[in-house]
Amino acid sequence: YEWGNPLHNKTILTSMLSYSPYNNIHPKPLPSILITGGLNDPRVPYWEPAKCAAKLRAHKTNPGLEKDVTGQGDTPLLLRINGKGHFAGVEDRVEWYAFVLWELGLGG
């Protein structure tokens, strides 16, 4: 265990949970988010980004693509799992850039 064994040391467990992105998801408004993963990624199994996206969606308090009564909205939470593994191809980068351009209001 690189940081110690969280099963045998409560201090280590508490420390690890404090910086765990998944365990620190709480109900709140969220910005637009694009979560990506690879079906064959040996470092991060595809279900981890899917699990994170599901928890974020369950805790997101602001609307998705629809506008709310204040005129706010347009904050999608997107999940993209490709079949290429960790090393994304050009088409994946195009999707990332399109997402950023759309967020900046520069998309079509």
pLDDT band at 69 (very low <50, low <70, confident <90, very high): very low
User: Does the residue 47 lie in any domain?
Assistant: yes
Q: What is the per-residue burial (b if ≥16 Cβ within 10 Å, else e) of 36-68?
A: bbbeebeeeebeebeebbeebeeebeebeeeee
Mean pLDDT of 52-76: 73
Model confidence pLDDT, tens digit, residues 15-62: 999 999 999 999 988 888 999 988 888 888 999 999 999 999 999 887
85 domain residue, yes or no: yes
Is there a domain that residue 9 lies in?
Answer: no
Q: Which of 50-54, 65-69, 78-82, 92-96 has the highest mean predicted lDDT (pLDDT)?
A: 50-54
Domain assignment of residue 78, given as a range: 27-103
Looking at the domain assignment, is residue 43 inside a domain? yes
